Amino acid sequence: MIQRASMVVLAAALMATGVVSAAAPAPDAQTQALHVLNRLAFGPRPGDVERVASMGVQRWIDQQLHPETIPLPPDLTARLAALDTVNRSAGESLDEFLTLRREVKMDDEGAKQHRHQVEMRVARQAAEARLLRAVESPRQLEEVMVDFWYNHFNVFAGKGIDRALVTSYERDAIRPYALGSFRALLGATARHPAMLFYLDNAVSSAPRPDAKGKARGLNENYARELMELHTLGADGGYTQRDVTELARMLTGWTFEQRPKFLHVARADDLFRFDARRHDAGPKTWLGQAIAPAGEQEGEYALDVLAMHPATAHHVSRELAQYFVSDDPPPALVDRMAATWLASRGDIRAVLATLFGSREFMASGAVGAKFKTPYQFVVSAVRASGEPVANVQPLVNTMNQLGMPLYGCQTPDGYKNTQDAWLNPDALTRRIAFATALASGRLPLAAMPVDAAPPATMAPPRPAPVDPVRLQATLGGSISTRTKAIVQRNPDKLRAAMLLGSPDFMQR
């Protein structure tokens, strides 16, 4: 009863105060270190604040902008290497999926159950790879940007063959370009079979009488989202005719599904331009006459979109909203867009402008962002310092909080603003997770049944989170008021109250 009452007090405080900031008027070194760990990383692990403050915030930011210079822990590397479905080519994954689908259609005995088991294993390993990196990788900005770009170029894992393709999509089309060239990132997502299938460009074609199946005409889904969401923005100055003309330019952009060609080394090898489906007529797009050029029409469109001033502004604002505030300062967005155009879409350069800005490090920006369910769950585990062998409790929690991993059905992705996630039911569920984690009741140390070796002894039981160590880890992000409330309660409740506090909900 005392525990529940204490949690209710903190939930009520959060609803009453809205955005909570523990920031001082002039952030000191410790506050700055905590701030960058909450924005460029998924929150601090024990000892992180002191380490970042000691090495210098700017030096740490520069290091994070070059993740290739940061070695991965051998244990993490070994665990990632052991995930066989994560490390397969897109062709192998797709071949397995299509084979299982054919078996189900043939009503083979046990085929449905086998397919379900395979799909569950693929989904579990995809979640394990993502969450292990988010919790344990020292390349935290890389993980933050993988999350950001996957959401920006969202693909729903629950649609058909994308169940087999999202792992490759994140690995091959998102991760290598997360801090590189936006044009390369845009092209990788555009050519990946996961996106071609999700937004139906794989079946888009010029009308032709001999077309079979769904490929009987123009499909504008991808062309529309390419301009509205991925590049120019809804107010980017294009018209419905531009959507149609771009869709025509992209006809024939599809991917390989014939079994004998599926065992390929890289996802990009599945891309195929089908000249028979392409609309070879002249086009006018964004005020420019487009001469017939086959596949190169689509490449030209991506070149234009990647360097369009509207794209520079639209994506810069999304980045500023993610890293600074729900309503980012227009002057900062303008400076980021100028860097975008000057650097020809160099994501690292744009982020350097953002992180070096007075707006990013201003006291008013500290603690001004409300954590999404993904950020909350990952940051709680990182702050606790608990080892993770089983990610399923984290996956389950995100499902309950309305943010399933790879589970956003619409192409606009999940929102990252406070009004999308702050509500009484969500707070209750967050507090329940915080309580279970802090008390050692989450089975994070127990390997999943299909991944564990034959048991010779009972799996280790996680210990309750040490509230003193946790409070030291969170440092200045916990307000004096919250500390006082926590201090008035029994020791066994304090860690749960810190993780369920209004302050911890902010980043």
| 447 shares its domain with 325 | no
- Identify the band that residue 20 occupies on the pLDDT scale cut at 50, 70 and 90: very low
| 296 shares its domain with 313 | no
Please check whether residue 284 lies inside any domain of the structure.
yes
Let me know how long the chain is.
507
| 7 shares its domain with 121 | no
Please check whether residue 59 lies inside any domain of the structure.
no
User: CA-CA distance, 343 to 301, in Å (whole number)?
Assistant: 19
Say which residue the tokens 């555009």 belong to: 190
Query: In this predicted model, what pLDDT tens digit does every residue of 457-487 receive, in sequence order?
Result: 556 667 899 999 999 999 999 999 999 999 9
CB of 118 closer than 8 Å to CB of 96: yes
User: CA-CA distance, 267 to 364, in Å (whole number)?
Assistant: 43
| 336 shares its domain with 281 | no
Q: What are the C-alpha distances in Å from 167 to residues 128, 288, 321, 460?
A: 11, 37, 27, 30
| 129 shares its domain with 224 | yes
Please check whether residue 64 lies inside any domain of the structure.
no
Query: In this predicted model, what pLDDT tens digit does every residue of 371-387 receive, in sequence order?
Result: 999 999 999 999 999 99
Mean pLDDT of the region 127-140: 98
Strand-pair partners of 346 = 181
Report pLDDT for 18: 43
Mean pLDDT of the region 252-270: 82
Q: Which domain holds residue 354?
A: 309-365
Q: Letter for the amino acid at 151?
A: N
| 314 shares its domain with 302 | no
DSSP assignment of 279-312 equals: --S-EEETTEEE---THHHHHHHHHHHHT-HHHH
In 230-294, alpha helices (H): 240-249
Secondary structure E strands in 183-338: 253-255, 271-273, 283-285, 288-290
Pick the last residue of a domain from 365, 394, 410.
Answer: 365
User: CA-CA distance, 127 to 161, in Å (whole number)?
Assistant: 17
Question: What mean pLDDT value characterizes the chain?
Answer: 92
Report pLDDT for 8: 56
DSSP assignment of 373-430 equals: HHHHHHHHHHHHT---S--HHHHHHHHHTT--TT---STT----SHHHH--HHHHHHH
- Number of domain units in the chain: 3
Query: In this predicted model, what pLDDT tens digit does every residue of 354-413 receive, in sequence order?
Result: 999 999 999 999 999 999 999 999 999 999 999 999 999 999 999 999 999 999 999 999
Nearest in space to 17 (alpha carbons), one of 363, 368, 366: 368
| 361 shares its domain with 373 | no
> At how many degrees (to 10) do helices 392-400 and 111-136 cross?
90
| 139 shares its domain with 277 | yes
Report pLDDT for 209: 65
The DSSP secondary-structure symbol of 44 reads P
Pick the last residue of a domain from 317, 336, 365.
Answer: 365
Q: Letter for the amino acid at 355?
A: F
| 459 shares its domain with 350 | no
Query: In this predicted model, what pLDDT tens digit does every residue of 80-96 receive, in sequence order?
Result: 999 999 999 999 999 99
| 482 shares its domain with 378 | yes
- Identify the band that residue 12 occupies on the pLDDT scale cut at 50, 70 and 90: low
User: CA-CA distance, 35 to 111, in Å (whole number)?
Assistant: 51
Pick the last residue of a domain from 290, 306, 322.
Answer: 306
Mean pLDDT of the region 146-152: 98
SS3 450: coil
User: CA-CA distance, 275 to 88, in Å (whole number)?
Assistant: 29
Please check whether residue 38 lies inside any domain of the structure.
no
Please check whether residue 271 lies inside any domain of the structure.
yes
Report pLDDT for 321: 98
Mean pLDDT of the region 418-431: 96
Mean pLDDT of the region 289-303: 98
Please check whether residue 35 lies inside any domain of the structure.
no
**Percentage of the chain modeled with pLDDT above 90:** 83
Angle in degrees, CA 498, 500, 505, rounded to 5: 100
Please check whether residue 471 lies inside any domain of the structure.
yes
Please check whether residue 429 lies inside any domain of the structure.
yes
| 292 shares its domain with 324 | no
Say which residue the tokens 């609309």 belong to: 279
| 145 shares its domain with 266 | yes
CB of 112 closer than 8 Å to CB of 104: yes
User: CA-CA distance, 488 to 502, in Å (whole number)?
Assistant: 17
